[in-house]
Structure 1
Amino acid sequence: MDQKVPVNQHVTETWAGWAETRKILRSEECINNHGVRLFGLEMQRPYAGHLLSGRKSIETRGYDLPTPLLTKVDRDCDGYVEEVRIDILESERGLDRVSAIPDRVSVLTIADGHKDGLKLETSSTPYLVRKGWCTFSSSFRYTSREQFQADERKHLVPPNSGYGWDDQRPIYGWVVGTSGVHNSDDKDCKYIAERRMRSLVEIHEMK
């Protein structure tokens, strides 16, 4: 049986800021009001919705999830859970393995009037939509095509996809823990996302 390879710790060194990450913004809070940091994951439509609905329980990437973004369970403290929520930021569907989002991009909220499957008529530039949040309980590396394809119902990546198995590239599975959707209560918050590592961004409240 194939074994799942544990997360490689070197991934946390690709952006120096991971080492400074101590607090993550909780859902529905405005960052400057609480003095904490918010990170998000860009996901193309419709996969963002599949993750938030529970249909997609593993997110696949070509790199490990940085350790500071993992939700941790301290078994020495009666199972205390240090929950790390990551915003799910939806982008329009595009080419496989190609991001159409610039390194700095506006983040729209449900309160901005965005509806599923429709672009804002007033938007002429790329944007992300703050759809919801999730936690990741673990991350592992797939070690074979067979192992990867056996999890298709969990990650929803078909064999013919550009995100499918490739002998020349590593594939990691980020196991989804909990998730939730944002409501329109954050209408007074305007956000900008800044790329930190591939599809991982840091979200700032605009002043």
Structure 2
Amino acid sequence: MVTQLESSLMPRTAIVADTDPARLSNTSAVLAGAGFSVTEAADHKSLTALLDAHNPSLVVVDRSLAGPQVAAPLLVLIDLADGLDSEGARYMGMADYIAKPVCPQELVHRAETLIRRAAQRNEARESAERLRGRLRSVSAAVRATQDPQLISEHLVNGFGETFGADRVLFATFDDNRVPRITAQWHRANLLPIPDAGGTRTCGLSSGQPALGGR
């Protein structure tokens, strides 16, 4: 999760595009005053060129220039009298809009909110990818052996580390068709559960990192 401090330390850049010179200057000045590094565009051609050359934290455009697809959060300046239907908003890829004339405090608030939400979404995607990678490692380790005891140890180690558990216990049910297999994993600062069904302690509890460690 992205903290408030981490968010405040992130470099913030913005592309501002507007065909109205005065409004373009005012919008840019407000964002620059809030700590943004701002680049301006006054028409579609210059906006497209800037989008091709830069990877901004935020794009602020007048509705008249909206259209090019952007990876960054898109904040559109609109006239409320013109209206804005949901289909048009989706077509533009708009993340949010703000009514003209723009209130400086509202502009800064919406800009910072959009950037913070984008950072949180990126962190969530990266976290999900890390989780998938760790689970793939567990799966590969399990497939690499046919020893039931080793398989159980790979499982408890892998799940314990991947999900940040305090403890993971594994035991087969009493059944004459399968061998009795037990294993447990716990955080390094915890003691193993004594005689937890005869479980074998493995992984970080014995000082050995699971699946190559961290």
TM-score w.r.t. the length of structure 2 is: 0.21
Return the structure number with greater helix share: 2
**1 or 2 for the larger relative contact order (CA 8 Å, sep ≥6)?**
1
Higher strand share: 1
Q: For the pair shown, which has the larger CA radius of gyration, 1 or 2?
A: 2
